[in-house]
Amino acid sequence: MVTGVGGDLVVRVASAADERAWDNYVHAHPDRTVDHLWAWSRVIAGVFGHRCVYLSVNRGDTLAGVLPLVLFQSRLFGRSAISLPFLNYGGLLADDEAAAQALVAKAETMAREFGASHVELRHRHRQLERLTSRQHKLAFVRELPATTDELWSQTDRKVRNQVRKAQKEGLVAEIGGSELVQEFYNVFATNMRDLGTPVYSRQLFLQTLEHFPARARVHVVRADTRVVAAAISIRLRDVVLVPWASSLRKCRPQCPNMLLYWDMLERAVKDGMRQFDFGRSTPGAGTHQFKRQWGAREIPLHWEYAVVGRGRTLPDTSAANPSFSRAIAIWKRLPLPVANFFGPWIVRDIP
């Protein structure tokens, strides 16, 4: 154990025996997200092979903060410590600034020992002024009304017309569990290839369903028997988050993506959820306007950084990096089986 900033604060690396206390703290914290739950450490380690170091800080006998951290080793970008890669959110949950500073100080020490260039914390709000901050991502959240009638009337007329078009085309929405993962993945992998982005392994989604059996669901839209749009949602208390969603481009005129999101929103209202989180987007990207049209409000995210390597700078891992444009163009032309084979090996190195 390491004594942290604040005298009586003690920071340590949590173990599997701490899972219940960790998750109880997450549930009680006002800035909680589903990405802070302990089970993601098993998913990330199991699917991607990265080392997860989950830090906790105690004030006396009381848990005062948590910081899920992944020691990320990439052949493309070197070493870093990230909270959290592959997910929308992460970073600190703490009772106060002293607890937060103690956690970050320990994270910096571990990152330096690991040989990392920096610590990256994916916050929804600014946490520590001493850290460098980037605001290059947006979250999109819609507050949900009490009834589906209110939801429909509050939805943009153009969006409602597109939902009706999908229904008139005979498209049908369905919800399930791991039995739908393969059909989800067929759509997701095709769409990622078309975007020029390496696809995650199917194991990411199977393990998400396995480790969050009461929270995660697979949503699909069928044209006859074929799935043409699909998503995965994960719930925490009264919030529904959609981290992954895709539809087949050639089927866009039938508006399956509109029916997909309407069905997820409608189910969320019926289940008493109060907030629908569309996940994050890059400003100006294609998903930006799509999420805005659903009445979602933009929330600028604060990704905070501590540089721990002397003379090191933060890498640009975004698709907007000009050096990636040629790779994206090539990837779009790959046969789907080739993209699906190599994608999981490459994306492991892209946080």
Q: What is the pLDDT of residues 105-159, one digit of tens each?
A: 999 999 999 999 999 999 999 999 999 999 999 999 999 999 999 999 999 999 9
Give Cβ neighbours of residue 174 (< 8 Å, ≥ 6 apart).
Answer: 180, 219, 220, 221, 222
Q: DSSP letters along 1-28, please? A: -EE-TTSSEEEEE--GGGHHHHHHHHHH
Q: What is the mean pLDDT of residues 53-71?
A: 97
Q: Is 191 left (phi over 0), alpha (psi -120 to 50) or beta?
A: alpha
* Per-residue pLDDT tens digits for 274-318: 999 999 998 888 788 899 999 999 999 999 999 997 656 666 665
Q: What is the pLDDT of residue 342?
A: 81
Amino acid at the residue 204: L
Q: Specify the pLDDT at position 6.
A: 46
What is residue 163's predicted lDDT score, i.e. its pLDDT? 98
Tell me the fold of 139-300: Aminopeptidase (3.40.630)
If one compares 288 and 162, the residue with the highest pLDDT of the two is 162
Report, as an integer, the average pLDDT of 34-46: 98
Neighbours of 242 (CB within 10 A): 22
pLDDT at 323 over 70: no
The pLDDT of residue 326 is above 80: no
Predicted local confidence at residue 116, as pLDDT: 94
Looking at residue 282, the DSSP 8-state letter turns out to be -
Q: What is the per-residue pLDDT for 283?
A: 87
Tell me the mean pLDDT in the region 1-7.
45
Among 302, 195, 200, smallest CA distance to 244 is for: 200
Q: Please say whether the beta carbons of 139 and 122 come within 8 A.
A: no
β-strand 297-300 against 172-176: which pairing, if any?
A: unpaired
- In this predicted structure, the answer to whether residue 73 has a pLDDT above a threshold of 60 is yes
Q: Which residues pair with 299 in a beta bridge?
A: 139
What pLDDT is attached to residue 181? 98
CB-facing half-sphere around the CA of 97: CA atoms within 13 A: 6
CATH class for domain 2-136+302-315?
alpha beta
pLDDT digits (tens, 9 = 90+) for 165-192: 999 999 999 999 999 999 999 999 999 9
For residues 110, 113, 114 and 119, what is the CA-based torsion angle, rounded to 10 degrees? 50
User: Taking Cα atoms as reference points, which of 124, 111, 101, 14 lies closest to residue 63?
Assistant: 14
Residue 56 clears pLDDT 90, i.e. is over it: yes
Bridge partners of 66? 56, 93
Please report, for the chain, the start and end positions of each structural domain, with discontinuous segments joined by +. 2-136+302-315, 139-300
Equal fold, 2-136+302-315 vs 139-300: yes
How buried is residue 114: exposed, middle or buried, by Cβ count under 10 Å (0-12/13-18/19+)?
A: middle
Quote the CA–CA distance of 319 and 234 in Å, as a whole number. 26
Whole-number average pLDDT of the chain: 92
